[in-house]
Chains A and B, each alone.
Chain A
Amino acid sequence: MMSQRQIIQGVMSMLRPLLLDVVPNIQQTAALALGRLADHSDDLAEAVVKEDILPQLVQSLASQNRFYKKAAAFVLRAVAKHSPELAQAVVACGGVDALVLCLEEFDPGVKEAATWALGYIARHNAMLSQSVVDAGAVPLLVLCLLEPEIALKRIAASTLSDICKHTPELAQTVVDTGAIAHLAQMILNPDAKLKRQVFSALSQISKHSVNLAEMVIEAEIFPAALTSLRDQDEYVRKNVATLMREVVKHSPELSQVIINYGALSGVIDYVNDCRGNLRLPGIMMLGYLAAHSENLAMAVIISKGVPQLALCLSEESEHHIKAATVWSIGQIGQHTPEHAKAVATAHLLPKLLELYMDASSSEDLQAKSKKALKSILQKCTYVPGLEPLLYDAPSNILKHVVCQFSKVLPHDSKARRLFVTSGGLKKVQEIEAEPGSALQEHINAINNCFPEELVRYYTPGYSEALLERLDNYQLA
């Protein structure tokens, strides 16, 4: 009974001499078989590496015809896709240089296979991407972008995206070859998969620094990119939203440029339409926008961002999406009382409190909701929004709520009346605070706004005190 490992070794050792066969068709088919085996699982890929098949392939890549090159590139791709170590093995035996040579071929199929392999190598980490770039692949990839075949364009864009995503230097190298202009031209192409890769590449470039983001914006992709927000393909929409998020997060000026094209309505409609993880870039974009300045936060509010975020919070069940939504809400509400009022009128404060108190929320979600709640509460002067929080809040949140009440009530008589009739004063009296703490000072400040009889009426135990007085009363 042969073990799987033995089977694998047997197969590999049988395929290996076939690679050196006289008949070219056999060579090609053997290479194709190896590629398919390696593609299937990483054990097989490791076996391919261990059997020293790769150096052989790489050497013969230079000399053979285009079908063999395609098959060999397929093998390299299949090996490199599983893990960084295997990709490193491919690089170590000179695979990258051979693939770059393939990129200079005429046949688009060969170029596509070589580009795909380079993409899978560069995907894993920065070092491997650097080795791809050092072999001089980037100008050739940009030339591939200009080819008429759609499949080649797709895969070239995807490879550029994989190279750029690791470090700013790599992104700068790609940008220096003028990739942005070519990518920008392909935005209005009708092919959905191409658009996916193009937007992904642009967003990976722009995520690293302000300069790169500015260069992407200068290529005038907006407003044309906004039409892709209503594309049929959901991943195109997601990648456009990701691009906008990466551009917006750097500076207020860039955000301003995007907002001036009306992007806010696009993003909010996008968040409305999709579900689950696809919403995340849209939500984070709103958060980054609001974080810059209160103008932009107000712009988000008037574009009806807050009800949309409230909807997201109630619909989504995953904690990381909820955490992102909570963070965005915090950024929107933290600037001025107007912003806090907009958040409070959407009944978000009790929800935030609930998320904070819920034991089943992840730690990240709890921490974020606490931070958001605190920052909004410090600016909130909207009394009907603050009231529900009096009842359930723990003491560290309660002191902020009471502090806000103590600021608002001395000046507003209608609010005082409302406070009494809705039972807020009663609740405040029931709060136990250590004398001398800040909470007690705020409670005193609130009590000073009301006549003494009212305060005494609502103190707990007042009915017992009255009954005691009744007992001691002597009819004169």
Chain B
Amino acid sequence: MFCLLRVLSQRRLLEDTRQRENQVATRIQSWFRACKVRAYLSHLHKKAIIIQKTWRGFTARARVRQMVKAAYFIMKMNFYEEMAVRIQRRWRGFFQRKYIHNFYARKSYLQGVAAKNDLLRRELDELKKLQRRERDCLAMVKEQEAKVYQAQRLHHLISTKQCPGVFNSPFRQAPHEMELLLRQVKYQVPTRLAPRGRARPQGIPSPTALSFPGNLGSPWTKTSRTCCSRPVLSPITTKKQQVMTVKVWTMTDRWSVNVLIRFF
């Protein structure tokens, strides 16, 4: 029994310590297991990191390579575009300046217009002068013709040896021009009532339309005539005469046509 009490008290003591020792043992074991797990986890982490690091490096390098390619491409394209812009700029400038708005062509055109204007003005002035001269010439010739016709009709007023005529007054220094004309003009038997300016019997000077009247001198110069219409037959008693009919167009028109043909 005493040994039983000793055993029971020992067992009671041991029971107390057993709990504690159990606890301690549990603690130690749990700590150890924790260390084991921690070691395992850290090992896993490290390996996972290695994998992830390698993978990320791989993808990043692939992306960078792509980015480098793209940047290179963009750089090249920028260069090309800039060169293209230069070419286009030069071309557009050239094209505009040559075809669309050519400054020098416009300048020379305007100068040409001014030159043509002056030319035409000069030509028209000359033409006008010529026309006026011709009109004056015709007027003069007409006047002369009229005088000669008058002289013909008044032939009887010519002064004779005995008796001075009306136009040859003794108080004058020299005879009147009518007197001189009367002396020069040959008397012509008047034919039928020919209207003045149409039929031209011999003796009346013909209008010289082809040459200028530098010398309207002698009234009976037999020059080539211009007739407006049909040729006139001379009377049978008088000498034959050359009669040339020329076209109606007077000199100025021919001249002006020539000028203009030469002009352009």
Binding site for B on A (CB under 8 A): 188, 190, 223-224, 226-227, 229-230, 232, 259-266, 269, 295, 298-299, 302-303
Known contacts A229-B124, A298-B110; decide if A188 and B256 are in contact (CB<8 Å).
Answer: yes
Q: List 23 A-B contacts (CB under 8 A).
A: A188-B257, A190-B250, A223-B260, A223-B264, A226-B120, A226-B124, A227-B124, A227-B127, A229-B124, A230-B127, A260-B116, A261-B120, A262-B116, A262-B118, A262-B121, A263-B120, A265-B117, A265-B121, A298-B110, A299-B109, A302-B113, A303-B113, A303-B114
Give the top 9 A-B pairs by smallest Cβ distance, nearest first: A262-B120, A265-B117, A262-B116, A265-B121, A299-B113, A262-B117, A230-B124, A230-B128, A227-B256
The verdict on B99 contacting chain A, using a C-beta distance below 8 Å, is no
Known contacts A226-B124, A227-B256, A230-B124; decide if A261 and B264 are in contact (CB<8 Å).
Answer: yes
| Contact among B106, B113, B249 with A264 in the assembled complex (CB-CB below 8 Å) | B113
Determine the residue in chain A with the shortest Cβ distance to B250: A190
* Contact B260–A302 (Cβ < 8 Å): no
**Cβ of A266: which chain B residues have Cβ within 8 Å of it?**
120-121, 124
Known contacts A295-B106, A303-B113; decide if A262 and B119 are in contact (CB<8 Å).
Answer: yes
A453 to chain B, nearest CB (A): 44
The verdict on B263 contacting chain A, using a C-beta distance below 8 Å, is yes
* Contact A188–B253 (Cβ < 8 Å): yes
CA distance A295 to B110 in the complex (A): 8
Determine the residue in chain A with the shortest Cβ distance to B125: A230
* Contact B109–A295 (Cβ < 8 Å): yes
**Cβ of B110: which chain A residues have Cβ within 8 Å of it?**
295, 298-299, 302
CA distance A261 to B116 in the complex (A): 7
A272 to chain B, nearest CB (A): 11
CA distance A227 to B127 in the complex (A): 8
* Contact A224–B257 (Cβ < 8 Å): yes
Known: A265-B118, A269-B124, A299-B113. 12 other contacts (CB 8 A): A188-B256, A190-B253, A224-B260, A226-B120, A259-B116, A261-B120, A262-B118, A263-B120, A264-B117, A265-B117, A265-B120, A302-B113
CA distance A263 to B121 in the complex (A): 9
CA distance A230 to B129 in the complex (A): 11
A136 to chain B, nearest CB (A): 32
**Cβ of A227: which chain B residues have Cβ within 8 Å of it?**
124, 127, 256, 260
Determine the residue in chain A with the shortest Cβ distance to B260: A223
Determine the residue in chain B with the shortest Cβ distance to A229: B124
B126 to chain A, nearest CB (A): 10
| Contact among B114, B120, B249 with A190 in the assembled complex (CB-CB below 8 Å) | B249
**Cβ of A303: which chain B residues have Cβ within 8 Å of it?**
113-114, 117
CA distance A196 to B256 in the complex (A): 19
B15 to chain A, nearest CB (A): 107
**Cβ of A261: which chain B residues have Cβ within 8 Å of it?**
116, 120, 264
* Contact A259–B113 (Cβ < 8 Å): yes
CA distance A223 to B121 in the complex (A): 13
**Cβ of B106: which chain A residues have Cβ within 8 Å of it?**
295, 298
Of B110, B116, B131, B263, most buried by chain A (CB within 10 Å of CB) is B116
Interface size class of B (residues with CB under 8 A): 20 to 34
CA distance A261 to B120 in the complex (A): 8
**Cβ of B263: which chain A residues have Cβ within 8 Å of it?**
223
**Cβ of A259: which chain B residues have Cβ within 8 Å of it?**
113, 116
CA distance A170 to B121 in the complex (A): 37
**Cβ of A299: which chain B residues have Cβ within 8 Å of it?**
109-110, 113
CA distance A265 to B118 in the complex (A): 7
Determine the residue in chain A with the shortest Cβ distance to B249: A190
CA distance A264 to B124 in the complex (A): 13
**Cβ of B117: which chain A residues have Cβ within 8 Å of it?**
262, 264-265, 303
Cβ < 8 Å to A, chain B residues 96-153: 106, 109-110, 113-114, 116-121, 124, 127-128, 131
CA distance A307 to B248 in the complex (A): 42
**Cβ of A190: which chain B residues have Cβ within 8 Å of it?**
248-250, 253
CA distance A263 to B116 in the complex (A): 8
A202 to chain B, nearest CB (A): 18
B 7-23 to A, binary, CB cutoff 8 A, 1 in contact else 0: 00000000000000000
B10 to chain A, nearest CB (A): 115
Determine the residue in chain B with the shortest Cβ distance to A303: B117
B259 to chain A, nearest CB (A): 8
CA distance A32 to B105 in the complex (A): 66
* Contact A269–B264 (Cβ < 8 Å): no
CA distance A244 to B65 in the complex (A): 77
Determine the residue in chain B with the shortest Cβ distance to A304: B117
A225 to chain B, nearest CB (A): 10
CA distance A188 to B106 in the complex (A): 34
Of B117, B249, B256, most buried by chain A (CB within 10 Å of CB) is B117
Determine the residue in chain A with the shortest Cβ distance to B264: A223
CA distance A224 to B120 in the complex (A): 11
Determine the residue in chain A with the shortest Cβ distance to B116: A262
A230 to chain B, nearest CB (A): 5
**Cβ of A262: which chain B residues have Cβ within 8 Å of it?**
113, 116-121
Determine the residue in chain A with the shortest Cβ distance to B254: A188
CA distance A121 to B259 in the complex (A): 41
B220 to chain A, nearest CB (A): 28
CA distance A190 to B264 in the complex (A): 22
B 22-39 to A, binary, CB cutoff 8 A, 1 in contact else 0: 000000000000000000
B 223-264 to A, binary, CB cutoff 8 A, 1 in contact else 0: 000000000000000000000000011100100110010011
CA distance A64 to B263 in the complex (A): 54
CA distance A266 to B127 in the complex (A): 13
A258 to chain B, nearest CB (A): 11
**Cβ of B128: which chain A residues have Cβ within 8 Å of it?**
230
Determine the residue in chain A with the shortest Cβ distance to B135: A232
Determine the residue in chain B with the shortest Cβ distance to A226: B120
Determine the residue in chain A with the shortest Cβ distance to B121: A265
B57 to chain A, nearest CB (A): 63
CA distance A223 to B124 in the complex (A): 11
Determine the residue in chain A with the shortest Cβ distance to B113: A299
Determine the residue in chain B with the shortest Cβ distance to A227: B256
B262 to chain A, nearest CB (A): 11
* Contact A269–B250 (Cβ < 8 Å): no
Determine the residue in chain B with the shortest Cβ distance to A231: B131
**Cβ of B264: which chain A residues have Cβ within 8 Å of it?**
223, 261
